Structure 1
Amino acid sequence: MWSYMHLISWAAIIILTLTAWVIYPRNARLFTILQMVNRVFYLTVILSGVMMIQYSIETSWVLAILKILLGITTIGIVEMLLSYRKKQKRSQLFWVLFVVLIIATVSLGFYLSGGRPLF
């Protein structure tokens, strides 16, 4: 159950981030709402991640700690990406980091979970 909650929350964060990025110039109020909803999903990701940590540590405690750090860094990059969008600053570096961290975090997460909940 926690793995489904974790995966759905990450998918929601990615979708909400992309939607907020696209919608900002046209609707600043909706951007703020999407940003707040995104933050609620951060909490669900952290909660579900804490609940699943015991299984990840059984596989490899070093990789589990790396996954935690990657997840927290990804959340930070999402926040920086959206705040730079709101300030209308250049954010190409944050886009590159966002994509790289999402790929690394998801890959490591599926490795630690043995491919669940997808396989």
Structure 2
Amino acid sequence: MWAYVHLISWVAIVVLTVTALAIYSKSTKGFTILQMINRIFYILVILSGVMMVQYSVEQSWILAVFKILMGIIVIGVVEMLLSYRKQQKPTGMFLMIFIIVVLITVSLGFYLSGGYPLFN
């Protein structure tokens, strides 16, 4: 169950982040609402990640620690990306970092879980 919560929460974070970036010029209020909803999903990701950490550590504790760090970095990059967008500063660098870090984190997550829940 936690794997589904974790996966759905990560997908929601990515979708909400991209949506918030897209609507900022049209609605700053909508942007702020999406940013707050994103923060709720951070809590779900952290909670579900803590509940599943024992399974990742069984696979490879080094990769599990690296994935935890990458997950924290993703959350930090999302916050920086959205705050830079709100301050109307250039976000290109953070957008590239966001894409790279999300791909690494997702790859590690599926490797450590053996593809569960998506590929089982």
TM-score by length of 2: 0.98
5+ residue gaps, structure 1, are none
Q: Does 1:31 align with 2:31?
A: yes
Aligned-residue RMSD, C-alpha? 0.4
CA shift, 1:110, in A, is 0.2
Q: Kindly report which structure 2 residues correspond to 1:58-97, keeping only aligned pairs within 5 A, or say none.
A: 58-97=58-97
In the alignment, residue 51 of structure 1 is paired with which amino acid? M
In the alignment, residue 43 of structure 1 is paired with which amino acid? I
Runs of 4+ in 1 over 3 A off after TM superposition: none
Matched residues in 2 for 1:90 and 1:34: separation?
A: 20
In the alignment, residue 76 of structure 1 is paired with which amino acid? G
Structure 2 partner of 1:54: 54
In the alignment, residue 90 of structure 2 is paired with which amino acid? R
CA shift, 1:25, in A, is 1.0
5+ residue gaps, structure 2, are none
Q: Does 1:41 align with 2:41?
A: yes
Structure 2 partner of 1:13: 13
**How many equivalent pairs are there?**
119
Matched residues in 2 for 1:26 and 1:51: separation?
A: 39
CA shift, 1:100, in A, is 0.3
Matched residues in 2 for 1:100 and 1:77: separation?
A: 11
For each residue in 1:17-68, what CA deviation from the matched residue of structure 2 results, as whole angstroms up to 9, or x when unmatched? 0010011111111110000000000000000000000000000000000000
State the SS of the aligned residue for 2:96: helix
CA shift, 1:91, in A, is 1.2
